[in-house]
Structure 1
Amino acid sequence: MFKFVCVIAGFWLFGYAGAFLGLIAGIFIDRIRALGTGGINPLTNVVRQAVFLETVFILMGKLAKADGHISRDEINQVDLFIQKMGMTPEHRAQAIAWFNKGVDISFDTEPTCRRFMSVCGHTRDLKQMLLVYLIVIAMADGHIHPAEETLLFGIATHLGYDQSAFRHLVDMVLSQSHFGGSQQANSAQALEDAYRALGVTQDNTDQEIKRAYRKLMSQYHPDKLMGQGVPEDMIAVATEQAKEIQLAYDLIKKSRNI
């Protein structure tokens, strides 16, 4: 029932891409209703998912072009996003069109950010996940170019982040990325990265570290993110980040014998 409603609403609001997103939302809503949890407005969720997806691809394009050229690593990262979503050729073309819209040097990101905030801005986790996706894309070629960081901060400002909160999030995501197996688990640098990945320091108490860990794991929980408007097939990046957070916390626990 809800799949039909969401597909129609999505098509009416955003065309074929919206119909695709409506199908995703409808499946999710029917699943939630089957579990008896209810309480989701299907039309609202379709709109949030559509706006979130469009914003991600547009800003990916802007970010990829920020340093003056688009690297092969950045293209591969975008292709990976598309592959994980299992898009049809038609929907893939729409995502690429959004990406190319952002690539245009004359494109102004402010209206896109304003629209995102008007639809998704009341939910802190959606704003954070948008920034996390973009930071991961910026890191695709191994580092964040100064021009990319400037653009990221501009986007973060539109989302309500100040310099300190933005820097804190970037440091966390960068540190989380270090737990992909490339470091020695017992190295001093790995432990330092583990604390930064959780947004804490060695001066924090065991209880404070545990609270920070639980808060992050809650923010990255797939069901919670999908309920707030992150398309189901875009949850993969959040899942990867959650794995890195878990590894970081395990390393800290081992070092503290807790």
Structure 2
Amino acid sequence: MSLFSRLFDVIGETAATAFSGVVEAVRTVFAGDPETRRRVAFSVAVIALSAKMAKADGIVAPEEVRAFQEIFTIPEAEANNVARLYNLAKQDVAGYEAYAQRVAGMCGSGESNCAMLEDVLDGLFHIAKADGLVHEKELEFIANVADIFRVDEAHFERILARHVHPDGIDPYAVLGVPESTPFDEVKKRYRTLASESHPDRLRARGVPEEFLTIANDRMAALNDAFATIEKARAAA
């Protein structure tokens, strides 16, 4: 049985109650299977953050719902169950800190700049910009989640550069290097980030298959940034 099928079996009995009841039910039902419980808990927490983030600007736009569906590839037969969970979580923004803490705790106590948590932030940005604009309230929401995730300022600025660029994309900011960086070091940095963003790396750190769509977006941003720098250096 798939991850979502098992998750939805639980939700079917609890989705009419508070969302916290769903989380508690997941913990109980999967108590004997720690790895599956970890993946299910990750999915539930991310669904909650996604729904509450979409509500942060006061309106859950259809584009944001579709963006969520792009991140979580959902079998048609299970779509109604996802909708029930998502709609339950999106009623308001309250309580999102608790779900952010749950996800953060999966990276170990006190760990900063955890790669899995960067995956989550990329997913939230993907949803936030789906309606054409990252609203100030949405950015504030994501920044607060990043603080809970212990993502430092420089690391968050690099993530931000991939998604929000009102003055045009800064390829150096995307790669997180100064413009004065020698090209060999730029290439080394690009290769490191590209390796960390490979879907196999995401699987290895426990990200559910349904969440791997973000790897393609991140790789595209890294590839474009490096290509832009390489072209500019060649023409100089």
**TM-score of Structure 1 vs Structure 2, range by shorter chain:** 0.7 to 0.9
Cα contact 1:67–1:147 (8 A) shared by 2: yes
Question: In the aligned structure 1, how far is the partner of 2:212 from the partner of 2:10?
Answer: 18
When the two chains are superposed, the root-mean-square deviation of aligned CA atoms in Å is 3.0
**Offset at residue 253 of structure 1 (A):** 1.1
Question: In the aligned structure 2, how far is the partner of 1:151 from the partner of 1:248?
Answer: 26
What does residue range 108-147 of structure 1 map to in structure 2 within 5 Å? 108-121=95-108, 124-147=114-137
User: For 2:170, what is the secondary structure of its paired residue?
Assistant: helix
**Offset at residue 244 of structure 1 (A):** 2.5
Question: In the aligned structure 2, how far is the partner of 1:73 from the partner of 1:218?
Answer: 31
Cα contact 1:101–1:107 (8 A) shared by 2: no
Question: In the aligned structure 2, how far is the partner of 1:17 from the partner of 1:219?
Answer: 33
Question: In the aligned structure 2, how far is the partner of 1:229 from the partner of 1:195?
Answer: 29
What does residue range 1-258 of structure 1 map to in structure 2 within 5 Å? 11=6, 14=7, 16=9, 43-82=33-72, 85-90=73-78, 92-105=79-92, 107-121=94-108, 124-174=114-164, 193-257=170-234
What is the CA deviation profile of residues 89-136 of structure 1, one whole-angstrom value per residue up to 9, with x for unaligned ones? 33x233323322331226311221222122245581111000011011
User: For 2:92, what is the secondary structure of its paired residue?
Assistant: coil
Question: In the aligned structure 2, how far is the partner of 1:220 from the partner of 1:173?
Answer: 16
> What is the match of residue 33 of structure 1?
none
Cα contact 1:197–1:245 (8 A) shared by 2: yes
User: For 1:201, what is the secondary structure of its paired residue?
Assistant: coil
Question: In the aligned structure 2, how far is the partner of 1:227 from the partner of 1:17?
Answer: 26
From the two aligned structures, give the one with the greater helix fraction. 1
Distance 1:87 1:134, change over 3 A: same
Which deviates more from structure 2 when the two are superposed, residues 202-211 or residues 138-147?
202-211
User: For 1:207, what is the secondary structure of its paired residue?
Assistant: helix
Question: Percent sequence identity over matched residues?
Answer: 25
Which deviates more from structure 2 when the two are superposed, residues 44-53 or residues 110-119?
44-53
Gaps spanning 5+ residues in structure 1: where? 19-42, 179-188
Counterpart AA for 1:79? Q
Distance 1:113 1:211, change over 3 A: same
Cα contact 2:119–2:214 (8 A) shared by 1: no
Counterpart AA for 2:77? P
Cα contact 2:125–2:163 (8 A) shared by 1: yes
Counterpart AA for 1:107? A
The two structures have a TM-score, normalised by structure 1, of 0.71
**Offset at residue 88 of structure 1 (A):** 4.2
User: For 1:257, what is the secondary structure of its paired residue?
Assistant: helix
Gaps spanning 5+ residues in structure 2: where? 12-32
What is the CA deviation profile of residues 190-227 of structure 1, one whole-angstrom value per residue up to 9, with x for unaligned ones? 6x622222122321121321222122112211111011
Cα contact 1:46–1:229 (8 A) shared by 2: no
